[in-house]
Amino acid sequence: MENKMFCFQCEQTAGCSGCTGNAGVCGKTAETANLQDELTGALIGLAKACESNPHDESVTDIIVEGLFTTITNVNFNDETIRKITEKVRKKKYEVVPNCSVCTAKCGNTDDYDVTKIWNEQEDIRSLKSLILFGIRGMAAYAYHANVLGYRDNTVNDFFIKTLCILGYDLNKDDLLPVVMEVGEVNLKCMELLDKANTETYGTPTPVKVPLTVEKGPFIVITGHDLYDLKQLLEQTKDKGINIYTHGEMLPAHAYPELKKYSHLKGNFGTAWQNQQKEFENIPAPVLFTTNCLMPVKESYSDRVFTTEVVSYPVMIHIGVDKEFTPVIEKALELGGYDEDKSFTGINGGHEVMTGFAHGAVLSVADKVIEAVKNGDIKHFFLVGGCDGARTGRNYYTEFVKQTPKDSVILTLACGKYRFNDIDLGEIAGLPRIMDMGQCNDAFSAIKVATALADAFECSVNELPLSIVLSWYEQKAVCILLTLLHLGIKNIHLGPTLPAFVSQGVLDILVENFGISPIGSPEEDLKKFLK
């Protein structure tokens, strides 16, 4: 039977092999998936046009936007995908105007047929997929940095270089170094975003965030974009509307320039995959600033708003003017809860902590180092990554619960919702669970790990540090590639290994980096602590 679509970029892809039917597991239709492939092909055509022709930053801006649009759970709207594809083509003909009227076409700048990648020999397909999905994830970080006015020419040029490579006939030996280079450049991109966020909003500091929603009108804001949150806070101050974060927006509470708004009250709900249940009949609007949007259920479809690259059919989209009046009016209309309403995390906790980015952790590095030397801290675990709905993700909850009392858990991204409401106590006056922020803040974990290695005059691999990652979408891919670029070994990955990693490529990763799938919490802890 002929495939109606092909997509295997997320962890939940059908049968751990690929979505091929009328719709993907994420909810996007075959038409949407094929339009995203068409957009990717147009981006490759634009990149090839830029190889030997002058271009300005408007080109890389649209490349970043286009790549971000194709990330899982970002855009379900065929109309907006078509519009950005046409923008890409228009930009291409601004770069190479003669190509549009050429009568002896060479085909070099034509849109690329992405199905050629899906039909490549499996190792070539795997390596090109690692590159494509890696730069899609990196584009998300670049996009957020760009919004705040921060750009890096090395990063921007790399998007063009790698898109061109995807359109070339190359062998495994040619592609492997490019895969590793994605990790290298992504490190630079994550550092850029870290700088953009901290210079704009201040250095995060630890804070306890309540899970109770106070009575009265409120707005839930989800996604990753701190700029959108800042604009919303400004537009809602003195209006009697409280703001609650959701999902990956939780770490916003730690930034001085954001938490100074008294109506930024707390966090609503848990990780992204629970939104269809948690938003059921919620008496408030929800603003999506980036992924992760799921297909919207009728019970709350009248109160979902999107902005930036997020788009869903029929939902009201807030444009570049960031005029949030429709969201504000909906909040006032719905009115919120009549009385304070207490919610909990998935383990029954009533509050969570965040704000342990590298600035906060390194400010108490002397205490951490002393605790290690005294034997109070015997092991560090980095347990982070994307959450998801696949059976088996309770592994991460059980793993954290079973970690010994003389260990510290560093965490980031939405995978922390599996355990971030558990009180594991303290070591040397420090909480045992330290939330370092969004997936966008993975640079913090790298910064802390390298600082500890420097302090103990050893490599990261020689630290009493074990890395256990959960993955779902493409930002997790580029973070993993960055860790590999840094030479970090023995990473445990779950709940499944990526479908787009062929056996041949997996063998290379296992041989060189010791990557392995998660097992059981008991078995893995025994392995880490031996």
- The confidence score (pLDDT) of residue 97 equals 87
pTM greater than 0.85:
yes
pLDDT at 1 exceeding the cut of 60: no
pLDDT-based confidence at 137, cuts 50/70/90? very high
Residues forming a β-bridge with 352: 209
Mean pLDDT of the region 177-193: 98
pLDDT at 453 over 70: yes
Q: Which two tokens stand for residue 477?
A: 């891919």
Query: What mean pLDDT do residues 380-393 have?
Result: 93
Question: How high is the mean pLDDT of the chain?
Answer: 96
Percent of the chain at pLDDT exceeding 70: 99
pLDDT of residue 216: 98
Q: What number is the average pLDDT over the span 177-203?
A: 98
Residues 326-375: tens digit of each pLDDT:
999 999 999 999 999 999 999 999 999 999 999 999 999 999 999 999 99
3-class DSSP state for residue 9? coil
Sheet holding 465-470, edge to edge: 433-435, 407-411, 379-385, 465-470, 492-494, 516-517
Cα(470)–Cα(493) distance, integer angstroms: 6
Work out the angle between the directed axes of helices 474-485 and 442-455 (0-180°, nearest 10): 20
Helical H segments across 237-310, by residue range: 256-259, 275-278
CA distance 305 to 313: 11
Q: Which of 1-15, 127-141, 510-524 is least confident?
A: 1-15
Whether 382 and 444 have beta carbons less than 8 Å apart is answered as no
Q: What is the mean pLDDT of residues 118-145?
A: 98
End-to-end CA distance of the chain: 50
pLDDT over threshold 90, residue 422:
yes
Cβ(315)–Cβ(301) under 8 Å? Answer: yes
Flag the least confident range among 90-104, 121-135, 434-448, 456-470: 90-104
Helix and strand numbers, DSSP H then E, in the chain: 18, 18
pLDDT at 327: 98
Instruction: Average the pLDDT over each of 96-100, 373-377, 379-383, 436-440 and give the range with the smallest value.
Output: 96-100
Residue 468 has pLDDT above 60, yes or no: yes
Calculate mean pLDDT across residues 53-82.
Answer: 96
312 neighbors 306 (Cβ within 8 angstroms): yes
Mean pLDDT of 259-266: 98
Is pLDDT above 90 for 98? Answer: no
Domains of the chain: 14-200 (1.20.1270.20), 207-342 (3.40.50.2030), 358-529 (3.40.50.2030)
State the pLDDT at residue 477.
97
pLDDT of residue 104: 66
Is pLDDT of 322 > 90? yes
Average pLDDT over residues 131-141: 98
Of 249, 189, 215, 266, the residue nearest 443 (C-alpha): 189
- Whether the per-residue pLDDT at 91 is higher than 90: the answer is yes
- Looking at residue 392, its pLDDT comes to 87
Q: Determine the pLDDT at residue 518.
A: 97
Q: Which pLDDT band holds residue 106 (cuts at 50, 70, 90)?
A: confident
Contacts of 121 (CB under 8 A, 6+ apart): none
Q: Is it the case that residue 254 has pLDDT exceeding 80?
A: yes
Q: Which residues contact 217 (CB under 8 A, 6 or more apart)?
A: 240, 241, 242, 284, 331, 332, 334, 335, 336
